[in-house]
A and B are shown apart, each in its own frame.
Chain A
Amino acid sequence: MTLLEGKDLTMVFGGLAALDSVDININKGEILSLIGPNGAGKTTLFNLLTGVYSPTRGSICFKQREIKNLKPYDITKMGIARTFQNIRLFGEMSVLDNVIIGQHCRTNTGVFGAIFRGPATRKEEKKVRDRAMDILNFVGLAGEAGEKAKNLPYGKQRRLEMARALATDPDLILLDEPAAGMNPQETNELINLIDKINDMGKTVLLIEHDMKLVMGISQRIMVLDYGKKIADGPPEKVRNDEKVIKAYLGDRAGKEVRAC
């Protein structure tokens, strides 16, 4: 079943087409990886799907609803969460508060509720705290709950970003280079975590350069190059795809010419 369907997605910045009529299909429950050389348009595609940009052309359907003109916070509410390539935590806030903020769109205490702190507010606060702790346990950060987010080591900050995204209770979670800068052991832990998230029934869209991770967990891989989709299929097929090899390693003939 299709969870999200993007058609003819085009994003033009000035004269440059960062994305050029890309079609993307995400099936419910799968782990789909998005790969491609730097500047291929992967993060731009993420930004389109999460409403940071509105596409120049094309449409995005999520759960049978057009979302291309929705604001990021509305899209989050509909069930798409994301992490960022360059970590964007709320640094001065505690780890716990970061996850609590993630539940913002599922709660509704207002100013007056906050001032008077009636039973409904207290109940909601307790629920939010408990759920935040559950999520921290899930990603293995419960011990650091009281720590300031900016004081966490790099690998844990990445995991906190994922915890925060999970807190929004998404159906689709977009991870932008979660393994960037991680050592092999941290990457292995990350693979486990992504698998666990997928087992919870969450659909995962992943941008990643670490091929071990990509080949290991993806059910399907989509390849972008210069804003165009050049391949889409299961890992074995994509691995041997002529165009993909060319995009990553360059043209053999061309190289030989240069070598002379």
Chain B
Amino acid sequence: MVIGINIILAVSLNLVSGFTGQLSLGHATFMGIGAYTATLFALKLHVPFLVALIIGAATAAFFGFIIGVPTLRLKGDYLAIATLGFGEIMRNILLNLKITGGPMGLRGIPKITNIYIVAAAVILVIFSLNRIMNSRVGKSFIAIREDELAAEAMGINTTNFKILAFAIGAFYAGIAGGLFAFLFRYINPNNFGFMKSIEILCMVVLGGMGNTSGAVLGATILTILPEFLRSVSPVISQYRMVFYGILLVVMMIVRPQGLLSDTSFDFLKSSVFGKIKVKKIAEKGGQ
């Protein structure tokens, strides 16, 4: 189930950083906003789980929009640092608000998240994401990554589309946050700190930037690996985070483009069927 949640986080960050090319170091923050909002709505207002989940995600998307407006005018490293700053601000707000329970966090959340709900969420997220990426909107995201100036010359309002990517990514992350809260039944601000953001980024980079299948694979591997190493032997268990680190270092040296960069399931589908489709259209056009 944790794998599923991490998959949602990885594919949503991949939308922002991989497809649209905007490096964000504060993705876990949106997860946190989703988790806290959903939890508070469920605990204080007794809103049903699904509704709370959606409200949490929508709130995260709203914050994505609010944060996106000023920061997405920045580029590359500057944007990364700005999102980092935003993450710290949110963490501190959560630590100091009364309603969020401060550093104690929120406890007593009912356990509702189960494997079916997670599976359904993962499928819905990936399905809708694929639809978006194959549409005019998704193509605009990729165009912005490829060349912002040219994208603007093609009539794409780059700032708006970057904000849109940010908000959609935040929405999905908010869903992941809600699922997380109702799975572990306890949340505190440190669940959604800088380290979590980096962990999500590692999944995306390991799997291959700009590739949904890659993000899924990256999330799966980086979720299972520490647990797997823990179970092998006590010695390895002790050093499992070292292995984790070594894996990342080796990966970046041997295959910096990520596990799946060009060769993925998406790619198979779009290349084989896509080419046939294009050929057909070409023949039709040629006649």
Contact = CB atoms under 8 A, between A and B. Distances in A.
A146 B153 contact: no
Nearest to B271: A146
Interface residues of A, number: 50
Interface in B229-287: 274-275, 278-279, 281-282, 284-286
A104 interface: yes
A114 interface: yes
A84 B150 contact: yes
Contacts of A125: 135-136
B123 interface: no
Contacts of B151: 90, 101
A114 B132 contact: yes
Contact of B143 (A81, A93, A105, A143): A93
Given A71-B152, A109-B136, A90 B147 contact: yes
A94 to B, nearest CB: 8
Interface string B29-45: 00000000000000000
A90 B156 CA distance: 13
A111 B141 CA distance: 12
Interface in B152-167: 152-158, 164
Contacts of A96: 278
Interface in B124-177: 128, 131-132, 134-140, 142-143, 146-147, 149-158, 164, 168
B137 A110 contact: yes
Contact of B281 (A97, A114, A145): A145
Contacts of A101: 139-140, 143, 151, 154, 156
Nearest to A93: B142
A90 B131 contact: no
A115 B128 contact: yes
B24 to A, nearest CB: 19
Given A92-B142, A146-B275, A114 B158 contact: no
Given A52-B149, A90-B147, A130 B135 contact: no
A100 interface: yes
A220 B278 CA distance: 40
B142 A114 contact: no
Given A101-B139, A107-B136, A109-B135, A88 B150 contact: yes
B17 to A, nearest CB: 15
A228 interface: no
A195 to B, nearest CB: 22
Q: Is the interface of A mostly helix, strand, loop or mixed?
A: helix
A89 B149 contact: no
Given A89-B147, A133-B281, A164-B154, A111 B139 contact: no
Given A72-B152, A134-B285, A92 B136 contact: no
Contact of A102 (B134, B154, B158): B154
Nearest to A95: B278
A172 to B, nearest CB: 13
Contacts of A107: 136
A111 B153 CA distance: 22
B131 A115 contact: yes
Interface string A76-94: 1100011010001111111
Contacts of A50: 153
Given A73-B158, A133-B282, A134-B285, A93 B150 contact: no
Nearest to A109: B136
Nearest to B285: A133
Interface string A57-85: 00000000000000111001100011010
Contacts of B135: 109, 113-114, 117, 121, 125
Nearest to A107: B136
B278 A76 contact: no
B143 A114 contact: no
B126 to A, nearest CB: 12
A168 interface: yes
Contacts of A192: none
A88 B149 contact: yes
A40 interface: no
A90 B146 contact: yes
Given A115-B131, A145-B282, A146-B274, A73 B156 contact: yes
Contacts of A77: 155
A137 interface: yes
A91 B150 CA distance: 11
A257 B84 CA distance: 63
28 contacts: A71-B152, A72-B153, A73-B155, A73-B157, A76-B155, A84-B149, A88-B147, A88-B150, A89-B146, A90-B147, A91-B146, A93-B142, A101-B139, A102-B154, A104-B139, A104-B140, A105-B154, A105-B156, A107-B136, A109-B137, A114-B138, A117-B135, A124-B136, A130-B285, A133-B284, A142-B285, A146-B274, A146-B278
